[in-house]
């Protein structure tokens, strides 16, 4: 699946390389600033999650999410600075802590951690789509497409793990009026 996204992005990069680069409009700059802020807030939250859980599989996927967030944050920062967009203040990193040293009343459960990750990924994907739809410049649109596809692939892996563990919060099923009931 990753190859499909990568191939699409590579194709579009080659197609749009020669376009003139006008300055970012205010919506494009604001989209960068907001997504950067979301990632900068997400990373310390994931560090707290790593300090809280003792589940090996969950630790791996949280670490993967943190690494992805840091990678996206760094790439976006480089782009923003090259375009003259100032970076928002970021929260400090959290030091590593022994999970067993944290009182139970202060710890999140593994289900809460997984669902926090799920909400963050969903929010990130929607932010990328919104930012992509507001772009005039194709190069920044490609950046959003790349960031979104990375988050979607990560989210798919997260959802598989959550389903396997029974951690997915499923809303009630919708049965339209007049629908025949199954016996």
CATH of the domain at 134: 1.20.1260.10
Q: What is the distance between the alpha carbons of residues 13 and 112, in angstroms, rounded to a whole number?
A: 39
**Residue 83 falls within a domain, yes or no?**
yes
**Residue 177 falls within a domain, yes or no?**
no
Question: Could you tell me the pLDDT band of residue 24, with boundaries at 50, 70 and 90?
Answer: very high
**Residue 9 falls within a domain, yes or no?**
no
Place of tokens 């579009």: 12
- Cα–Cα distances (Å) from 29 to 63, 134, 176, in that order, read 29, 10, 43
Question: Could you tell me the pLDDT band of residue 169, with boundaries at 50, 70 and 90?
Answer: confident
**Residue 31 falls within a domain, yes or no?**
yes
Q: Is the pLDDT of residue 3 over 70?
A: no
**Residue 54 falls within a domain, yes or no?**
yes
**Residue 2 falls within a domain, yes or no?**
no
What's the domain count of the chain?
A: 1
Q: What is the distance between the alpha carbons of residues 47 and 95, in angstroms, rounded to a whole number?
A: 8
**Structure-token pair, residue 62:** 């949280």
E strand segments, 36-140: none
Contact (CB, 8 A) for 6 and 148: no
Q: What is the pLDDT at residue 15?
A: 61
Place of tokens 């190859």: 3
**Residue 15 falls within a domain, yes or no?**
no
**Structure-token pair, residue 60:** 């791996």
**Residue 13 falls within a domain, yes or no?**
no
Over residues 136-163, the pLDDT tens digits come to: 999 999 999 999 999 999 999 999 999 9
pTM of the model: 0.86
What is the residue range of 159's domain? 24-94+107-165
Q: What is the distance between the alpha carbons of residues 84 and 104, in angstroms, rounded to a whole number?
A: 45
């Amino acid at each position: 699946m990753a190859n499909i996204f990568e191939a699409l992005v590579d194709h579009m990069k080659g197609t749009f390389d020669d376009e003139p680069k006008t300055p970012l409009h205010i919506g494009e700059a604001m989209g960068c600033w907001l997504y950067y802020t979301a990632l900068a807030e997400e990373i310390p939250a994931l560090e707290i999650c790593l300090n809280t859980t003792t589940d090996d599989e969950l630790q791996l996927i949280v670490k993967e999410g943190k690494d992805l967030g840091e990678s996206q944050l760094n790439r976006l920062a480089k782009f923003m600075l090259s375009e003259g967009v100032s970076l928002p203040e970021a929260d400090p990193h959290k030091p590593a802590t022994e999970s067993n040293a944290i009182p139970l009343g202060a710890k999140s459960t593994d289900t809460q951690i997984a669902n926090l990750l799920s909400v963050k990924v969903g929010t990130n994907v929607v932010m990328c789509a919104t930012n992509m739809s507001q772009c005039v410049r194709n190069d920044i649109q490609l950046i959003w497409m790349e960031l979104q596809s990375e988050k979607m692939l990560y989210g798919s892996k997260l959802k598989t793990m959550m389903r396997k563990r029974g951690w997915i919060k499923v809303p009630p099923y919708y049965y339209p009026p007049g629908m025949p009931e199954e016996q």
